[in-house]
Structure 1
Amino acid sequence: MSETIRVDIWSDIACPWCYIGKHRFEAGVAAFTAQYPDVEIEVEGHSYELAPDTPENFQGSEIDFLAKHKGMPREQVEDMLEQMTGLAASEGLVFDWEKLRHANTSRAHRVLHLAKEQGLQLETQERLFRAYFSEGAEIADPDTLAALGEEVGLDGDEVRDALEDEDYADAVDQDITRARMLGVNGVPYFLLEGKYGVSGAQSADTFRSVLERVLEFQRTGTEPE
């Protein structure tokens, strides 16, 4: 019987650190799995909204949103986004801030819960991240979400139905409520075996090391430091 480590991850599609963190985590898992091929890493994603007050039809760039809606100096925003672009590139990711359309992510999170039911959550999340940060897709638009869902194997009509289904809205709210109960106030946030929390887009080596310490605890009963 193989061993299993469960990892719950809270993230938001409009969060650049979440996109970077996803890839760093996956690289850490790959390194860990190469050393421990019989250990299964069971991952479940959860919803978190960094800016739930974003209008569904916000018109403007990411710079506009952060400078006007969040009250940040425009020069500071431009410097911050330039640094993020470099960090993304180091992970093989493309951030195109000129194309990006800042959006409310509540609908995208509903789609992720539909995808979870069908075993396509991670693929759907990756597609939404790339559409948002690299392609300038309007991820609050039902037709756009349906088309992106179809690319990863979801039914477009089911995606549209999910956007109107309050059960999926409740699932998103439940994820956010659980995050608050855990004391999470930023994402990405990784919870291993329901006990060990890791905040932020840590390095791949850090994630590998944390997985090793949790595995050691499972095998020996010695709490990770």
Structure 2
Amino acid sequence: MRVEVWSDVGCPWCYLGKRRLDKAIGRFEHGDEVEVVWRSFQLAPHYPRGAAKPLYEALMEQTGGSLSDVRSMVGRVVAPAAAEGLKYDFDSAFMCNTFDAHRVAQFAGQRGLGGRAHERLLRALLVEGDVLDDTETLVRLATEIGLPAEETRRVLAGDDYAEAVREDAREARRLGAEGVPFFVFDRALGVSGAESVDVFVSVLRQARERSISGLSSQ
């Protein structure tokens, strides 16, 4: 079974969704049969590259709201994330363009490290306060998951995997995604949003049953 996940590496709901999916696969009776493929999707593709700002400041500029307003807005994810073991630090987080981070994740995916890349990049931005449009930061994070530093630097210096990032976003829209996280199970069942572990387990079972039924009817 293949589960495709469209996610942005700066998205707190995406990190929560990843954690819940991971737990669901661990509970699923046939979890060893599940392949997770990570897809790119930028929530703010037009945010200027090299113009990282503290998260609250950037959100106040975008929404016109007060500091209290934006704290309340992003605070809605804090408690459910904490329940899954994620301790977000929005006071230290930055908003930045994530295009190059997604290119690194695509490179990692080609080496069988897509899941590890998304995990490390999400943690870096949401928990550790790293800026993900900084080349040296991305090289450091890449090496931590097993990618070669010089190859990663070469990827970032050119436009490798740029079209793959764009095509993932186009494919998500063709499949009906309006935001992320967006999960597609065997290109048959879709889940939008960071649903509960129980919901993911149920969908995994449904997807497997559909697959078995399809094979038996052939």
Q: Provide the C-alpha distance between the structure 1 equivalents of 2:90 and 2:55, rounded to a whole number of angstroms.
A: 7
Structure 1, unmatched stretches of 5+, are none
* TM alignment of 1:94-105, pairs within 5 A: 94-105=87-98
* TM alignment of 1:42-53, pairs within 5 A: 42-53=35-46
Q: CA deviation at 1:221?
A: 4.1
Per-residue CA deviation, residues 134-161 of structure 1 (Å, 9 max, x unaligned), is 1111111000000011111001111111
Contact 2:103 2:160 in 1 (8 A): no
Per-residue CA deviation, residues 123-179 of structure 1 (Å, 9 max, x unaligned), is 111111111011111111000000011111001111111123324101101111111
Please point out which of 7, 14, 23 is paired with 2:10.
14
Contact 2:52 2:131 in 1 (8 A): no
Q: Provide the C-alpha distance between the structure 2 equivalents of 1:83 and 1:212, rounded to a whole number of angstroms.
A: 30
Query: Are 1:211 and 2:207 counterparts?
Result: no
CA RMSD in angstroms, aligned pairs only: 1.6
**Which residue type is aligned with residue 20 of structure 2?**
R
Q: Provide the C-alpha distance between the structure 1 equivalents of 2:214 and 2:13, rounded to a whole number of angstroms.
A: 33
Q: Provide the C-alpha distance between the structure 1 equivalents of 2:99 and 2:93, rounded to a whole number of angstroms.
A: 17
User: Residues 72 and 195 of structure 1: is their aligned pair in 2 closer, same or farther, counting only changes over 3 Å?
Assistant: farther
**Which residue type is aligned with residue 100 of structure 1?**
A
Q: CA deviation at 1:59?
A: 4.4
Indicate the percent of aligned positions where both proteins have the same amino acid: 40
**Which residue type is aligned with residue 153 of structure 2?**
R
SS at match of 1:81: helix
Q: CA deviation at 1:66?
A: 1.2
Q: Give the aligned partner of residue 133 of structure 1.
A: 126
**Which residue type is aligned with residue 70 of structure 2?**
V
**Which residue type is aligned with residue 104 of structure 2?**
V
Query: Are 1:87 and 2:80 counterparts?
Result: yes
Q: Give the aligned partner of residue 33 of structure 2.
A: 40
SS at match of 2:34: strand
